[in-house]
Amino acid sequence: MFSRISLALILLLHHASALWPIPRSLETGTTLLKLAEDFDFKLDIDSPPEDLTNAIARAKDLLENDKLQILVPDRGESNRGGLENAKSLSGLTLALADNAPTIRPIATEAIDELHARDESYSLIVPDDGSDATLQANSSLGLFRGLTTFGQLWYDLDGATYTTMAPVTVSNDSPAYPYRGVHLDTSRNFFPVSDIKRMLDGMSWVKMSTFHWHVTDSQSWPLGIAEFPELAEKGAYSTRETFSPDDVQEIVTYAAQRGIDVIMEIDNPGHTASIAFSHPEHVACFEGTGDVVGEPPSGQLRLASEATLNFTLDMLTAVASKLPSKFFHTGGDEVNQPCYNRDQQTQDELGKSGRSLEDAIGDWVDATHDRLRSIGKTPIVWEEMVLEHNITLKNDTVALVWISSEHAASVAAKNVRIVHAPADYFYLDCGGGGWLGGDLGNSWCDPFKSWQKAYTFDPLANISASQEHLILGGQQLLWAEQSGPENLDPIMWPRAASSAEVFWTGPTLPDGTDRVAAIAGRNKTAKTEVLGRIHDLRARRDDESDTKRLQEDDEEEEPSQRGYNYTFGWYAQWTRVQKYFHLRE
């Protein structure tokens, strides 16, 4: 052994698990249980949907190939003796609850109305070798439970085992239905395969939503059959585009993994890239001075009927092909000097006898009503609620982003909220300004560590009568300073923090307050959370540490792991955990 550890600490450490988000109800034991060589899943369901059977196949593949050794200093060696005598688990039976509705594909359930989705499941893993059981009301619930099951197992020289049997999860379900990640694919392009890998990671932590900020001022990568010129002229290059087939591929891949893809075409601001193909629709393109928020400047001529019609048709073309019940129209950072200086806009406002705010209101009404007419509920950024004198219809959802402190103001207007605050959830802060000269101060400095995100309180300054307005939340990557090369380290494991905030809720299953577990002085709780998120990171690696070092001995190029971790990550958890109590 490389260290001296007290017996109590050993027991504590062997309880450490890879469950993330931790189920809201959880009972575990301390019995070693192996996975039998011939372990298999048994699906006790008539006519199971194909995406469920595929999910089971993937779960089986993971069990066979994920060789994570438990992250304790001896990597589980002290379990060797006990494993020889441990019982073996031969099967996990999946079934629907007696009163469950007819099963539908995961992909169908993933895009249901938010509050219609039933992601609940119950999981029992006995310690005596008798079959485990997973039960839910829907394929989506079974999928969530399958994920939990997959997070129980560790490897010791080919033996797959858990240290926590028996495991009982009674009706785990998420505290909030909207649990997601936002990715900006305009400031930098992300190929389909990188987005799929991101979706894999999201599904592993039971996320339900991918907010796809697909276009913005810097580039227009979105191919639209009815408006091919937008991407032809507005993408960074022909390769840096998403064809309509690519979009469907991503949407389908996500849905099969329980993820609803909510696309955003931000407007009327953040639309300079439209000018490459339709300069007639864009004001102050590549302007200077105060028309510039983030360069290049350029905003849709929102007082122009032609521009409005163009936009309505374009949004329709895009949204009508997406299965989600939601569509995000943006509406952040509308630059007023841009419109004040645009002669055409001034003329059109004058002609129609409207102020700029009137026109913004008309624009939002028109775009939102068109989306409603094709069955979409609109989502906007907070300015549409807080900064503009417009009336939103009451189905509209607002993303609070400028500051977590703004949630109360949005709730006061009785608007449904998705938490996306920069001060907790922006993954891109803290690396210095992107325009070159800044000496370390990006606007939303400092770096938001996983701990910071983990301590977010969705109900801060929200009254009991307003709680129903909170749909959930997401962490966000803006891509001025990111691309496929750093997608993994910039996103993971930090984005997992909100996955637990919005699934597990304010209280961990043992009754500990979640925020206090990190922000407080409860060392045991802190150690437990740290252990779980380190397991998460390690498990998402392509290969175990041991295999990787083996490769190095064989003088091969060290494999780049599937998920590099962010530099805010403590990499030697297997050792530091034993020192944790020594620090405070």
**Catalytic positions, written as ranges:** 333
Question: What is the number of alpha carbons within 13 Å of residue 91 lying toward its C-beta?
Answer: 9
Give the torsion through C-alpha atoms of 573, 577, 579, 584, to 10 deg: 110
Q: Which of residues 171-200 bind its own copies (CB under 8 A)?
A: 187-188, 191-194
Q: Count Cβ neighbours within 10 Å for each residue of 285-317 and write b for 16 or more, e otherwise.
A: bebeeebbbbeebbbbbbbbeebbebbbebbbe
Please tell me the distance from the alpha carbon of residue 334 to that of residue 360, in angstroms, as a whole number. 9
Q: Which of residues 336-355 bind its own copies (CB under 8 A)?
A: none
Task: Work out how close the CB of 511 gets to its own copies at its nearest, in angstroms, rounded to a whole number.
Answer: 19
Task: Work out how close the CB of 240 gets to its own copies at its nearest, in angstroms, rounded to a whole number.
Answer: 7
Report residue 213: phi and psi, to 5°.
Answer: -85, 85
Among the residue ranges 141-149, 201-209, 339-347, 449-457, the one whose residues contact its own copies (CB under 8 A): 449-457
**Residue 139, Cβ neighbours under 10 Å: how many?**
28
Among 375, 440, 467, 506, binds its own copies (CB under 8 A): 440
Among 131, 347, 485, 510, binds its own copies (CB under 8 A): 485
Of the pair 181, 529, the CB lying nearest its own copies is at 529
450 lies in the site for its own copies, by CB under 8 A: yes
Please tell me the distance from the alpha carbon of residue 300 to that of residue 275, in angstroms, as a whole number. 9
425 lies in the site for its own copies, by CB under 8 A: no
State which amino acid sits at residue 85: N
Of the pair 141, 298, the CB lying nearest its own copies is at 298
DSSP calls for 245-276: HHHHHHHHHHHTTT-EEEEE---SSS-GGGGG
Among 29, 228, 244, 433, binds its own copies (CB under 8 A): 433
Among 88, 340, 346, 449, binds its own copies (CB under 8 A): 449
Among 208, 209, 215, 297, binds its own copies (CB under 8 A): 297
Distance from CA of residue 548 to its chain's centroid?
A: 28
Binding-residue pattern over the window 49 to 68 for its own copies, x denoting contact by CB under 8 A: --------------------
Task: Name residues whose C-beta falls within 8 Å of residue 306's C-beta, 6 or more positions apart in sequence.
Answer: 280, 281
Binding-residue pattern over the window 233 to 272 for its own copies, x denoting contact by CB under 8 A: xxxxx-xx--------------------------------
295 lies in the site for its own copies, by CB under 8 A: yes
Among 428, 475, 508, 514, binds its own copies (CB under 8 A): 428
Element (H, E) at 91: strand 87-96
Among 62, 292, 317, 356, binds its own copies (CB under 8 A): 292
Task: Work out how close the CB of 340 gets to its own copies at its nearest, in angstroms, rounded to a whole number.
Answer: 18
Binding-residue pattern over the window 515 to 554 for its own copies, x denoting contact by CB under 8 A: ---xxxx----xx-xx----------x----x-xxx-xx-
Q: Is 324 in contact with 368 (CB distance < 8 Å)?
A: no
Among 484, 505, 513, 543, binds its own copies (CB under 8 A): 484
**Residue 112, Cβ neighbours under 10 Å: how many?**
16
Task: Name residues whose C-beta falls within 8 Å of residue 253's C-beta, 6 or more positions apart in sequence.
Answer: 196, 199
Among 448, 514, 532, 539, binds its own copies (CB under 8 A): 448
**First-last CA distance in the chain:** 25
Task: Work out how close the CB of 275 gets to its own copies at its nearest, in angstroms, rounded to a whole number.
Answer: 10
Task: Work out how close the CB of 566 gets to its own copies at its nearest, in angstroms, rounded to a whole number.
Answer: 7
Give the three-class secondary structure for 189.
coil
Task: Work out how close the CB of 92 gets to its own copies at its nearest, in angstroms, rounded to a whole number.
Answer: 30
21 lies in the site for its own copies, by CB under 8 A: no
Please tell me the distance from the alpha carbon of residue 347 to that of residue 472, in angstroms, as a whole number. 42
Please tell me the distance from the alpha carbon of residue 98 to that of residue 168, in angstroms, as a whole number. 19
Binding-residue pattern over the window 212 to 231 for its own copies, x denoting contact by CB under 8 A: ------xx------------
Of the pair 46, 554, the CB lying nearest its own copies is at 554
Strands (E), 370-501: 377-381, 397-400, 416-419, 470-477
Task: Work out how close the CB of 26 gets to its own copies at its nearest, in angstroms, rounded to a whole number.
Answer: 21
Among 430, 505, 509, 512, binds its own copies (CB under 8 A): 430
Among 112, 200, 286, 543, binds its own copies (CB under 8 A): 286
**Binding residues with its own copies: total (CB under 8 A):** 97
Please tell me the distance from the alpha carbon of residue 560 to that of residue 538, in angstroms, as a whole number. 13
Strands (E), 367-437: 377-381, 397-400, 416-419
